[in-house]
Structure 1
Amino acid sequence: MNIMAHEENITIQYCFPDNNSSCRKEVRTGPVYIFIFILLSCISVCTVVLNLLVIISISHFKQLHTPTNLLILSLAVADLLVGLFLMPVKILELADSCWYLGKVGCYISPVINFLSISASLFSLIVIAIDRYIAVSDPLLYSTRLTVCKMSVIIIIGWSGSLFYAIVFLYFNGYFFRSQVKCFGECVLYVKQSWVIVDLVIVFVTPCSVIILLYSIIFKIARRQAKAVRAVSNGVSKSPSDKVLNTSETKAAKTLGIVIFVYLTCWIPYFISSLTVENVTSVSIVWIVFAWLIYINSSMNPLIYAILYSWFRESVRCILSCRIFESSSSRINLFLERF
């Protein structure tokens, strides 16, 4: 009798009560979820702020208008899209299972998702290639990679990322919306074959290229450091030795951080994707591991900018409002190359 009374008191909520084909609503509440929402919101805000600082710095200060920094700017724009659009949408989805942004929003959201992530990975790869050319052939670097050439490369990369996003969604039937079961649902079902394709294009290939190039860069840097030491006739504890040791240590730390963060953020998602028959965008596994990928967008500005003195100096200028001075774009930031 008590069980029947309890069942009678249960009310089923719907996303759109006035619509007969509305999906059921699953509202997540409680202290644990509130903590998660606050934490993820803070991550989203930090991602936006950090990447905005990078974008403003490189765009405003003329001293930073270099091919390498254009790549960092491209990376920051891609990561800004993640923090500004994807993270808030995913937070709303986690709080409430219903989709309230309409059909257009449902179409656009995954496109921005794949575009930003693909463009971010593209920027990481080209940054590795750029650094490889700079280290292996420093005398010809300025002629081989100019600002104009790098701008064209970035445009091609973003266009390719958009093309891949559209192709991926098209062949998974997303634009046909035949997968929608009820009103208020926005779910992406990924075919197992495309999980493999995505694994190769978005993870295996970029990961292999980045690890290979940074390994070569580190070896070249060590070889050059040994050559300079040999010229110094073996004088121990000389100023040049200290500088070289610092350079080697910084290169090793940067290499280690880049690879560690990249693998940490991406491996769990693809391992989970390969162990299930169907991957959906609302499964709890996908949500957790997708957030790891998004967090990579928060780490990128820390790895590629905050480690360098020019960024710290530019942030001081921005926060002190010195950028509003007429000649602020020509301030010497003591630009430090990779």
Structure 2
Amino acid sequence: METQDEAELCFPQLFNISCKKPKTSLSQVLLPYVVVYSVSLLTVALNLLVIVSVSHFRQLHTPTNILLLSLAVSDFLIGLLLMPAKILRDTACWFLGQLTCLIYNYICFIITSASVGIMVLISVDRYVAICDPLHYPTRITDRRVKLCVCLCWLCSVFYNILFIKDDLLQREQHTSCYGECVFVIDYIVGTTDIVVTFIAPVTVIVILYMRVFVVAVSQARAMRSHVTAVTLQLSVTLTAKKSELKAARTLGVLVLVFLLCFCPYYIVSLLGNELFNSSSASIVIYLYYFNSCLNPLIYAMFYPWFRKAVKLVVTLQILQPGSCEVSIL
């Protein structure tokens, strides 16, 4: 018969080296479980709709939408893998082993870095479209965007090996007991990461979108001043500019929401808290994950093509022959 101390251990058979079970009652963990798993399910469903829509309809195969597709893939992985594993790690013993813990943290780093890189690419895309529209079709092509997206993910994969190489060789170095999943970042590596994946990209995003905002305002004023007397050619040009400005506004909202959810993630570490292990860090990580659920809702609010595509996907009309050629713009 187990003693009381043994019953409180994650691994009773490892009495001397086992962690204690988190002292939380069912009522305390039930609400967090329901909320997180509900958001996780919603995140997976919404981003899967984005992935299917952009992938299926050929009209949507534009450079900007390719970037949104890549962002939806990272958001989908967050909802499918990271959210459930995060709530499990915070409220229960980690029974999956140290190697699985290492892989989980590695995937977290990859997705986070890739998401930041994609946001930078989206900002560059809007900068060229608004500030240099004449050269946009030749500079920003589908092939180049796909190459940039692939490089973004590959760089994220190889860059984040810096975080796990020591723990991979000595997996039990930072583990005080069995049944926990912690990850300690070296000071130098952590400082480098803050510069590479937070300060530098956020600075680039803010500078580019400030420039986009200034040019967009001037273009909007120019269009209003010429709205009374325009030729057919000028009317087409103004319509194209208006479309680009609307896209810039929509993606500006996307980037702003991302920054609001993402910045606290690193501000906590700048204030000196132990990232990924403290309670305050858990809160900002959940906030960052919640952004993955908000992105498809932003598309639904601002993109009519997304609403039309979702309707066709939900009603299974995409299974009909030639559905990929259906006009939804």
Judged with a 3 Å threshold, the aligned counterparts in structure 2 of structure 1 residues 122 and 102 are, in CA distance, closer, same or farther, namely same
Q: Could you tell me the TM-score, scaled by structure 1's length? A: 0.85
1:217 equivalent among 186, 189, 212? 212
Match status 1:272 vs 2:251: no
1:29 equivalent among 21, 25, 28? 25
Distance (whole Å) between structure 2 residues aligned to residue 328 and residue 251 of structure 1: 25
Distance (whole Å) between structure 1 residues aligned to residue 141 and residue 149 of structure 2: 12
Q: Please report how far the alpha carbon of residue 197 of structure 1 lies from its aligned counterpart in structure 2 after TM superposition.
A: 2.2
2:85 equivalent among 86, 89, 106? 89
* Equivalent residues of 1:221, 1:248 under 8 A apart: no
Q: Is the deviation greater in 253-262 or in 137-146?
A: 253-262
Match status 1:176 vs 2:204: no
Q: Please report how far the alpha carbon of residue 42 of structure 1 lies from its aligned counterpart in structure 2 after TM superposition.
A: 1.3
Q: Is the deviation greater in 313-322 or in 187-196?
A: 187-196
Q: Which residue of the partner structure matches residue 63 of structure 2?
A: 67
Equivalent position amino acid for 1:113 in 2: C
1:53 equivalent among 49, 52, 58? 49
| Superposition map of 1:199-214 within 5 A | 199-214=194-209
Distance (whole Å) between structure 1 residues aligned to residue 249 and residue 28 of structure 2: 35
Distance (whole Å) between structure 2 residues aligned to residue 38 and residue 69 of structure 1: 33
Q: Please report how far the alpha carbon of residue 306 of structure 1 lies from its aligned counterpart in structure 2 after TM superposition.
A: 4.5
Match status 1:139 vs 2:134: yes
SS in 1 for 2:25: coil
Judged with a 3 Å threshold, the aligned counterparts in structure 2 of structure 1 residues 9 and 227 are, in CA distance, closer, same or farther, namely closer
RMSD between superposed Cα atoms in Å: 2.9
Q: Please report how far the alpha carbon of residue 27 of structure 1 lies from its aligned counterpart in structure 2 after TM superposition.
A: 4.5
* Equivalent residues of 1:71, 1:123 under 8 A apart: yes
Q: Which residue of the partner structure matches residue 161 of structure 2?
A: 166
Match status 1:157 vs 2:152: yes
Query: After superposition, what is the alpha-carbon deviation per residue over 1:165-186, rounded to whole angstroms, capped at 9, x for unaligned?
Result: 1112336x46522111222222
Name stretches of at least 5 consecutive residues in structure 1 with no aligned partner.
1-7
Runs of 4+ in 1 over 4 A off after TM superposition: 8-12, 246-253
* Equivalent residues of 1:86, 1:113 under 8 A apart: yes
Query: After superposition, what is the alpha-carbon deviation per residue over 1:265-320, rounded to whole angstroms, capped at 9, x for unaligned?
Result: 133332321222x6153321221111111112222233356421111110000111
Taking only the aligned residue pairs, the percentage that are identical comes to 40
Distance (whole Å) between structure 2 residues aligned to residue 109 and residue 313 of structure 1: 36
| Superposition map of 1:267-306 within 5 A | 267-276=263-272, 279-304=274-299, 306=301
Equivalent position amino acid for 1:311 in 2: F
Q: Could you tell me the TM-score, scaled by structure 2's length? A: 0.87
Distance (whole Å) between structure 2 residues aligned to residue 158 and residue 309 of structure 1: 29
Q: Which residue of the partner structure matches residue 4 of structure 1?
A: none
Distance (whole Å) between structure 2 residues aligned to residue 282 and residue 271 of structure 1: 15
Q: Which residue of the partner structure matches residue 120 of structure 1?
A: 115
Distance (whole Å) between structure 2 residues aligned to residue 10 and residue 107 of structure 1: 28
Equivalent position amino acid for 2:170 in 1: F
Equivalent position amino acid for 2:198 in 1: F
Equivalent position amino acid for 1:282 in 2: N
* Equivalent residues of 2:46, 2:296 under 8 A apart: yes
SS in 2 for 1:189: coil
* Equivalent residues of 2:63, 2:140 under 8 A apart: yes
Distance (whole Å) between structure 2 residues aligned to residue 296 and residue 50 of structure 1: 12
SS in 1 for 2:160: helix
* Equivalent residues of 1:68, 1:130 under 8 A apart: yes
SS in 2 for 1:279: coil
Q: Please report how far the alpha carbon of residue 30 of structure 1 lies from its aligned counterpart in structure 2 after TM superposition.
A: 4.2
SS in 2 for 1:106: helix
* Equivalent residues of 1:14, 1:23 under 8 A apart: yes
SS in 2 for 1:190: coil
Distance (whole Å) between structure 1 residues aligned to residue 200 and residue 299 of structure 2: 21
Q: Which residue of the partner structure matches residue 318 of structure 2?
A: 323
* Equivalent residues of 2:258, 2:291 under 8 A apart: yes
Judged with a 3 Å threshold, the aligned counterparts in structure 2 of structure 1 residues 63 and 85 are, in CA distance, closer, same or farther, namely same
Judged with a 3 Å threshold, the aligned counterparts in structure 2 of structure 1 residues 283 and 154 are, in CA distance, closer, same or farther, namely same
Equivalent position amino acid for 1:84 in 2: L
Q: Is the deviation greater in 8-17 or in 58-67?
A: 8-17
Judged with a 3 Å threshold, the aligned counterparts in structure 2 of structure 1 residues 152 and 252 are, in CA distance, closer, same or farther, namely closer
* Equivalent residues of 1:107, 1:175 under 8 A apart: no
Distance (whole Å) between structure 1 residues aligned to residue 249 and residue 66 of structure 2: 23
